[in-house]
Amino acid sequence: MITFILPGYSPHNKEWAEEVANNLKLAGQIRPIFWDHWQDESQSFKPQEKADLIIRHLKGDSVNIIAKSVGTLVAALIAKEIPGQISKVILCGIPTVSEERLKIFREAFSKFPSEKVTVFQNEKDPFASLEEVKAFMKKVNPEIKVRAMPRSDHHYPYYEEFQLFLS
């Protein structure tokens, strides 16, 4: 089993990915992903390219995914392509609930077993409100649980909860 940690867009998310990786005690490999544009600003961030690159490296392995912010879009793109290889998915801080994103999330998670996906959304996340994300996920798959977390920022340090869900 491989556990991928897919962080948000901005460079400070590297710390979050490292913290998640350091706090998980899981069998198998734990791989935080570091986006190219953090090191080289000339690199563009294309979610589909990132998803395709991860899929190519999997070679049939089973995976868990913990994703934050734009990483949730990359996670949905991966789950859409290889649902049979995905064990569990944790989505944190879904940043936008656009119609375009809804289409991708529906393709990825509408038929995905709801007990294998959970969403953590801070009560006052500045990117998308808890209410917006609950309404969005209800359209994606009403059986997927959205967990309200007591923060007013876009930080998701819920390592114990991640561990419990993935164990």
CATH of the domain at 161: 3.40.50.1820
d(CA 35, CA 162): 22
Say how many domains are in the chain: 1
Domain that holds residue 61: 2-166
Q: pLDDT, tens digit, for every residue of 7-51? A: 999 988 999 999 999 999 988 899 999 988 888 878 888 889 999
pTM: 0.94
* Cα distances (angstroms) measured from residue 158 to each of 20, 42, 66, 122, 137: 8, 32, 11, 11, 20
Hey, how many other C-beta atoms are within 10 angstroms of the C-beta on 10?
14
